[in-house]
Structure 1
Amino acid sequence: MKTILFSFITLLFIGSNAAFSAGDEKEIKIKTSAVCEMCKARIERNLGLSKGVKESNLNLKDKVVTVKYNPAKTTPEAIKATIINTGYDADNQLANQKAHDKLPSCCRKTAAPH
């Protein structure tokens, strides 16, 4: 019985180490067209719901969102697609027009920062 218990604990330990080393974290910075706190909340919420995204933080001063993600579960392209489909530009890629049109008027690209 002790041997079985020891084997189980060993396998559990090895499995948890493999999971942590396989999911090394990466970081990407993406320039957006966000203008206000509502934009920040919307982008961070949608990124937080995305598979593989561990953390996101949008700096409204420079309009750059910093995203920490698991490269085994998502890609920079998928992260940018989430931002684009939320209605905001992502680096040099333009926002999805339908999503952008659904944003409140204060959150659109033409709105002044506030």
Structure 2
Amino acid sequence: MKQLTFIFALILGVVFSTVANKPGKEKEVKIKTSAVCEMCKERIEKNLTLSKGINEAILNLDDKIVTVKYNPSKTNEAAIRKVITDTGYDADNLQCNQTAHDKLPECCQKGNESHAH
């Protein structure tokens, strides 16, 4: 019986240490975008959260900053910015992918800031 208890305790210890020492603890990054409306917000958040390693993306339209929580063992800040630029928006100092930008609804393109959806 003592041996069974010891084995159970050992297995439990291994399981808990594996969970506690998860590689790639969650990180957070804030990125300035060129988003202008709710449609932009939905598009950026959706594309980010569908990307590998991204746990959460919330865009604040007041300051145009998207806060992204991600697993650094699965993605990185450069990849996150690339998702945003490939969606058609600027990401910090990186210019948007022009082809993707041109496919956005006209109201979501840069320079069209006087509207609300």
TM-based fold match above 0.5: yes
How far 1:48 moved relative to its partner? 0.6
Alignment of 1:52-63 (within 5 A): 52-63=53-64
The ranges of structure 1 where at least 4 consecutive aligned residues each deviate by more than 3 angstroms after the TM superposition are 1-4
After superposition, what is the alpha-carbon deviation per residue over 1:28-63, rounded to whole angstroms, capped at 9, x for unaligned? Answer: 111111000010011011111112212111111111
Match of 2:14 among 11, 15, 20: 11
> Are the structure 2 counterparts of residues 113 and 8 from structure 1 closer, same or farther at C-alpha, using a change threshold of 3 Å?
farther
How far 1:24 moved relative to its partner? 2.1
How far 1:93 moved relative to its partner? 0.9
Question: What letter is aligned with 1:79?
Answer: I
**Larger of the two Rg values belongs to structure:** 2
Contact 1:87 1:100 in 2 (8 A): yes
How far 1:101 moved relative to its partner? 1.2
Contact 1:36 1:113 in 2 (8 A): no
Aligned counterpart, 1:23: 24
> Are the structure 2 counterparts of residues 53 and 11 from structure 1 closer, same or farther at C-alpha, using a change threshold of 3 Å?
same
Aligned counterpart, 1:87: 88
Q: Residues of 2 paired with 1:4 and 1:83: CA distance?
A: 49
Aligned counterpart, 1:76: 77
How far 1:8 moved relative to its partner? 2.1
Is there any run of 5+ residues in structure 1 with no aligned partner, and where?
Answer: none
Aligned counterpart, 2:47: 46
Aligned counterpart, 2:66: 65
Aligned counterpart, 2:37: 36
Question: What letter is aligned with 1:108?
Answer: Q
Q: Residues of 2 paired with 1:25 and 1:53: CA distance?
A: 9
How far 1:88 moved relative to its partner? 0.4
Q: Report the identity percentage.
A: 57
Equivalent pairs counted in the alignment come to 112
Q: Residues of 2 paired with 1:63 and 1:10: CA distance?
A: 45
Aligned counterpart, 1:112: 113
